[in-house]
Amino acid sequence: MKKNRQTLWTGVVVIIFGFVLFYVGTDGFRAYTAETARMYKLVEQKPALPNVTLEDSNGRIYPISEFEDKYLFITFMYTTCGTVCPILEMNMGQVYEKIPQKYIGEDVVFLSISFDIEHDDPEALAQYQEHFYQADGETWRMARIVEEQEMEQLLETLGVIVIPDGKGDFAHNSAFYFVDRDGNLMDIMDYTKINEAADRVVNVLNLEKEE
């Protein structure tokens, strides 16, 4: 009987150990892949965006700090991408539509940044933009980064991994990046969860207006 009790207690200890192990190993049951773990870390750190120079579909060239004191809703793509990017951008368009009109352009700017700086000149970007009727070139802009070095810095800061396959295509991770008025990363969101992303943005803006 005594042995049974000790065995029972060992069982309890083992379960507690397992719980702690999984809790620590997955950042509190949130991150089951190294990728999500990396994302949580980034969101906790809230890194500041490096000041990169953009060239948009209208051929305008300006630093990203132009959007200072506005929220930025960013995606990374390239225009010849046939797989994820069209979905990513379409979903971005749906988020755009769910944001109340009064905030659009005024408080939040949508920005699709191409990492294919060689191919995606203003012309290619303008052509691509036509596929997305919400993208007006003002409140939702498509742009490339002029300097390769600056682009790499930005991708690195936001944890975007882009691997060129050498044939003009890229393997890359996709997400919505939400940046606050001070140019610090606020959140990285699942690009397939449109409602969640839109709610997050609207909540932040509403809260601000109440204050």
Partner 1 sequence: MNQFIYGLLLFIVLALPPVSNLLESIMIVHMHMQMPLLIIAGFMMGKYLILRSPRFFDKYNNNGVPGILLFSIIMIYWMIPRTMDEALTMQSVQLFKFISLPFLAGVPLRDSWIKLTSVSKNIVITIFTVMFFAMGLLYTLSPEQLCNNYLIVEQITLGWGFITMAICMVIYLVYKAFVNQEDYE
Chain residues that interact with partner 1, rule: CB under 8 A: 3-4, 6-7, 10-11, 13-15, 17-18, 21-22, 25-26, 31-37, 161
Number of alpha carbons in the 13 Å side-chain half-sphere of residue 184: 8
In the complex, minimum distance from the CB of residue 12 to partner 1, in angstroms, rounded to a whole number: 9
CB of 56 to partner 1, least distance (A): 30
When the beta carbons of 145 and 158 are compared against partner 1, the nearer one is 158
Q: What are phi and psi of 176, to 5 degrees?
A: -95, 130
Closest to partner 1 by CB, 15 or 146: 15
Inter-residue contact 61 to 147 (CB < 8 Å): no
Q: How far is the CB of 115 from partner 1 (least distance, A)?
A: 18
Complex with partner 1: residue 37 or 117, whichever CB lies closer: 37
Closest CA to 125 of 109, 142, 140: 142
> Residues near 113 by Cβ (< 8 Å), separated by ≥ 6?
54, 74, 75, 76, 77, 143, 144, 145, 154
Q: How far is the CB of 34 from partner 1 (least distance, A)?
A: 4
Give whichever of 29 and 62 is closer to partner 1, judged by the CB atom.
29
**With respect to partner 1, which residue has the nearer C-beta, 27 or 180?**
27
Closest listed residue to residue 60, CA positions, set 109, 122, 120: 122
Shortest distance, position 190 Cβ to partner 1, whole Å: 11
- Tokens at residue 111, please? 């920005």
